[in-house]
Each structure stands twice: as C-alpha cells, then as structure tokens.
Structure 1
Amino acid sequence: MEKLRLGVLGTSGHYELRVATPLKSSLLVEPYAIASRNKEKAKTYAKKWDFSEVYGSYEELLADPKVDFVYLPLPNHLHLQYIKKAADAGKPILCEKPLGLNAKEAVEAAEYCKKKGVPLMEAFMYRFHPQWQRAAELVKCGEIGTVIATSGLFSYDLKDGGNIRNIAAAGGGAILDIGCYTVSSARLLMGAEPERVVGTFVWDPVFKTDILGSAILDFGNGRSSTFTLGTQLYPYQRVTALGAGGSLSIKIPFNMFGDVPGEITVINGVGERIVETEIIDQYLLEFDGFAESIINKTEVPTPVCDAIANMAVLDALFASAKSGKWESVAKY
C-alpha cells in the first residue's frame, strides 16, 4: 500500500527529537514536505530528515496537492490560524496539544474542520502507548475498584527566555504545555469530567508565564484528582490512581521511551506486581493511527470533543488562579 505523504509546518525541534526517527519505521506515513519561513533552514532540515519537498512558507506547502495530511507543531497561538488554513486546503490535520489557547478556540477549530469535512485530531501521543491502554483496561475491569483519586507530577527545567514555552504571548507556560497532560490523564482514569477546579500558580516575573502550579479537580461524590507542575524544577513525572480496591502507578507516563517496556505498578488485595507492556514508540502509534483513520475514512482515534473538554478544564484553572476560588468547568 502506498504511504500517505506528510507535510510538516515548521522546522520543529519536537518533530526532530521525538517523531522523525520513529516515522522511519512507519508502513503508512512518508515524510514528504517541510515548510519554514526561512527556506534555507528548511532545506537543511529536509536533507537531515529525508523530506523531498521544501517550501519557504506554510501556505505553499498547504497548496501542494501531493500532501495527504499535515502535522502542525507550531506555537500554541498559531494553532487555530493554521488549522483553518489547512482545512481550507482540504488537508487532514494532526495538531500538537493544546488545540488552541482556550476552549473557545478549540470549539472554533472543531466546527471549522467539520464544516470543511476535514479530519482534525489533537496530538496526545501518550494515549496510544500500550501502558496507557493497559492502565485503562485495568481500571475498566475493576482491578483496583472504583477510582477515588488520582495524582500527577510533571516538571522540567527550562529557563531560556527565548524558548517558545517561556513566551506568554505565544501561549507558553506550564498549564498549556504540560498541565494539559495531567488533566487529560486524570479525566481518562476517572472516566468522567470534573465539575469544578481550584488552582494556585506562581508566575515568572520576567517571562510572565506560569512556572509552578498545583490544582485539585473535583469529580463529585468525593472523587478528586490533584497534580503539581513546574517548568523550573528537576525533571520528573508520575501518575498514580487510587481505587477502592487498590492502586496503579505509571512510572514514565508521558515522555515514555520507545525502546524499553512500559511499567505499571499494580497493588491490590492479592499483592503487588509490575506490569510490563510492549516496546514500541508512542509517536509511531499516534501517526499511524491517524493515517489509518484517513485511509479507512473512519473517525480519528482521539475525538476532537475530548480536546475541547480538556481545554475547558484548563480554562477553569486559569480562572481559579485569577479569582483564588473554586471555578466551575464549562460544558460544550
């Protein structure tokens, strides 16, 4: 079967670090076109990562009829703009998280793509990893009983003011960059949407972005999720779910390596065990999963309504940080 030709908007460091190598193993996706506003930079990138076509603007790439779908790893504040442009060009879109700067933008993007008949998916790669598939199965079958609480920790150390993650106007900051993961995983394990949230955040005096934060998501009936984030801390990540009959903990929940097994620690009345999952790259699974939905004309693996619901929680957390109170999560 002929592979789908991928167009990438921007010479992304994320694509280079985490996506380019796994895609070499794909039977469904072929890196085809790369675009940058600096064409010389794009040429160097194309030579390194085997793109056959190079464009000096994103619009030129979108006009190429041979591009079957696009990957959009641009800064957060550009997501909505280029989702619309890609949809106008009839290109299915795999967009990096978060889908927009707020739920309103996520809804606008979803409705625009629906009107144009173009598939759109938020790129939450962790959902494709076997360790998360297995964790969801363990919860569903009642291995740890009803999940009462989850906790998450996610941090890294980045003090470079020129990095897009530290630029407020571009949608930088901990909540949009990594808080989206802790919220998404909590919603997945709880199997529900939080009713209200409260959060407290520390803002960098120079960058004006949130660099440290903690939050509580209230799912009702005493069920809650907590998490702490940091962008100027020692790098660490962990997610734990506590159920009425046990617990499970994922050792590396988000930036999982592609060359070692996933590890879930499961504890219940029978005992404690380490569940190891398949050695496979989550980015390969994500891109192949999206490509397969295009080929088979089926729904995308992660529906856009999930992206909107996740963004609604992030909006409520920003509102809580401003008000200092519990804030309700809007329904869309």
Structure 2
Amino acid sequence: MKKLKLGVLGVSSHFVKRVLFPLKHSSSIEIYAIASRNYEKAKKFALKHDISKYYGSYEELLGDKDVDFVYIPLPNHLHVEYIKKSADAGKHVICEKPLALSYEKSKEAFDYTNTKGILLMEAFMYKLHPQWKRAWEIVQSGEIGKVRSIYCQFSYDNEDPSNIRNIKEYGGGGLYDIGVYAVSSARFMMDEEPKKVLCELNRHPEWKIDILSSGILDFGTKRSMFTVSTQAFPYQNVSVFGTSGVLSIKVPFNMYPDVPGEISVETSIGKRTIFTKPEDQYKLEFEEFARAISEKIPLPVSVKDSLSNARVIDALFESAKRQSWTEL
C-alpha cells in the first residue's frame, strides 16, 4: 500500500515525545512535512529527523498538494480554527484532545469537515491499545458480574507557568487535558451515557486553571468517579467494580510501547493477572486513521463518541460552577 503523507502543524513536545518515533517506523505513513511559526525551528527539526518539507507557517503546509492528512497537536484554543483551514485545503485531520473547548464548538468542527467531505478524528489513542479490548472482553464475559462502579485516578506534576496546559486562555487545566480520559473510559466501559454529573474543581490562585478535579458520572443504577490533578505525584489507574469481582488496568492511558499491558482481575475464586502484547498505541491510532482514509473503514474514534464526551465535559464544568448536579 502506498504510504500516506502526513503534515504536522507545530513542533509540539507531545508530537516529539510520543508520535514522531513510532511513525518513523510505520509502513503506511510518511511524516512528510512539518510546520512552525518559526521557520528556522521547522527547518532544523526537519533536517534532524529526515522530514522532506518544512514550512514557516501552518497555512503554507496546508497549501502543499502532496499532504494527504494533517495532525493538529496545537494548543487547545487553536484546534477548531485549524481544523477548518485544513478542511478548506482538502486535508483529512487527526486532532489532539480535546478537539474543542465545548460541545458546540466540537459539533461545529465536525459539521464543517463533513460538508467538505473530510475525515476528522479526535486523538483518543488509548482506545487502540489491546489492553482495553481485552478489558472490555473480560467485563462483557460476566467474570466480574454486573458493573456497579468505575474509579479513575490520573495525575502528573506540572508547575511551569509558561506551559500551555497551565494557561487558561489556551484551554489549559486538568479536566480538558486528562479528565477527558476519565470520562471517555467510563463511558466506554459502561457502554452507555451518564444521566447526570457532579463536579468539584480546585483552581490555581494565579493561573485560574483547574489543578485538582473530581467528578461523579451517574448512569442510573451505576456510577463512575474520578480525580485528576496536574500538580500531584504522577499516577494513573482505572478500576471497574462489579457484583462478583473487580478489574484494574495498571497503566490505562500513557502505556509504554515496549511493555505488556497489565490487567488484574480479582473474584471470590482468586486473583489473576492478564498481560497483553506490547504495542505502540500512537502508531496504531495513526495507522487506523490512515486505513479509514485509504480503505473507507469506520474511524476508530467516532464522531458520536467525541461529541458525547464533549457534552459530558461541558456538564462537569457547569456542575462545578453551580455547585450542584447537572443533568444531561
């Protein structure tokens, strides 16, 4: 199969640390072009990493007729603007989460790309890792009984005031950055949408972004709870509690590409550990998106899924503002 040519908007640290290396070893994707608002930065990066084209503006890259699709890892507040510009240029788009800073803006972006015949996908890479497929199969098998609750903890420590995740105007804060994973994974494992939510946010006194966020998603007869923090010891875990047992995913989101996924299951019979094949979830994510372009298969993260997640995030912010339950 002919390799699809990828253009990247911005030399983001996330792209460099998580995406660059695995895609250099892809059989279906070529990192063909890179753009930065600093031409010399783009040039230096491209020459270092053997990338064919480099540009001093995002618009120049979008004007390259050989680019098949683009990756947008820009600050959150720029996502919708460059999704639309990419669609205008005829480029399919994989965009970092959150795709937009509200449900309405997310819907606007999806509607716009749809009218242009452009594929748009939100980059929830964890869904492509085999450990989540295996966890889903175990839950569906009934081994832990009927699901009653899910708990997610996700945290890291970032106290750099210049980091984009700590700038309110850029869409910074823990709920947008990692709370979206807690919501997405709960909706995935519950296989339904919450009816109401409750949320409490602790904000940084100067930066005004949420640095400690806790929420409850009420699904009627079951609930999901989470706490995420951008100023705490780095940690992540997801546990699914059923009527007959509990399932836990040790590293649910930022899984190492060379380490097996680890799932523990505990029931009245005893405790067992399941390991899944080491995989690079970013490579899988981009290659599945490329297949959706080339082979017209469904996107691994659907439009409906992304919009449903955005609606819940909106409701959590509204709940924190009102200090009460918010219905969806």
Shift in Å at residue 247 of structure 1? 1.2
Q: Write out per-residue CA displacement over residues 241-286 of structure 1, whole angstroms, 9 at most, x where no aligned residue.
A: 0012211100001110000100000122332111000011100100
Match of 2:69 in 1: 69
- The aligned counterpart of 2:298 is 299
Within 5 Å, give how 1:162-311 maps onto structure 2: 162-221=162-221, 223-311=222-310
Partner of 1:93, secondary structure, is strand
Deviations 1:191-233 (A, max 9, x none): 1111100011110011110000111100012x00000111111
Q: TM-score, normalising length from structure 1?
A: 0.97
The CA distance in 2 between the partners of 1:88 and 1:256, in whole Å, is 35
Residue by residue over 1:174-201, the C-alpha shift from the partner in whole angstroms, topping out at 9 and shown as x without a partner, is 0000000000011111111111000111
Partner-residue secondary structure (3-state), 1:11: coil
Q: Deviating runs (4+, > 3 A) in structure 1?
A: none
Where does residue 10 of structure 1 map in the other structure? 10
1:49 CA drift (Å): 2.4
Worse overlay, 295-304 or 160-169: 295-304
Q: Distance in 1 between matches of 2:11 and 2:48?
A: 11
2:72 partner letter: L
SS where residue 85 of structure 2 aligns?
helix
Tell me the amino acid that sits aligned with residue 228 of structure 2.
L
Instruction: Quote the residue 2:320 is aligned against.
Output: 321
Pairwise CA distance, 1:48: 2.5
Q: Deviations over 1:3-58 (max 9, x none)?
A: 10000000111010011111122111110000011010111111222211001111
- Distance in 1 (alpha carbons) for counterparts of 2:116 and 2:233: 44
Structure 1 SS opposite 2:219: strand
Matches of 1:137 and 1:49, distance apart in 2: 39
How much is the aligned-residue C-alpha RMSD, in angstroms?
A: 0.9
Structure 1, unaligned runs of 5 or more: none
Aligned-partner Cα distance in 2 for 1:319–1:160 = 27
- For 1:109 and 1:137, the matched residues in 2 are separated by 33
Percentage of pairs with the same residue? 55
* Distance in 1 separating the partners of 2:265 and 2:195: 28
Count how many residue pairs are aligned between Structure 1 and Structure 2.
Answer: 328
Q: How far did 1:143 drift?
A: 2.1
Query: What is the distance in 2 between the residues matched to 1:134 and 1:24?
Result: 27
Q: Distance in 2 between matches of 1:50 and 1:288?
A: 20
Determine helix, strand or coil for the equivalent of 1:220.
coil
Paired residue for 1:109? 109
Tell me which residue corresponds to 2:45: 45
Q: In the alignment, what sits opposite 2:55?
A: 55
User: Take 1:213 and 1:152, find their aligned partners in 2: how far apart are those partners?
Assistant: 12
* Letter aligned with residue 13 of structure 2: G
Distance 2:156 2:47 in 1: 31
Q: Which amino acid aligns with 2:277?
A: E
**Other-structure match for 2:29:** 29
Q: 1:298 Cα shift?
A: 2.3
What's the CA shift string for 1:279-324, capped at 9, x where partnerless?
A: 1110010011101111102221111111110011110110011100
Tell me the equivalent position of 1:124.
124
Using the TM superposition, name which of 191-200 and 267-276 deviates more: 267-276
SS of alignment partner, residue 257 of structure 1: coil
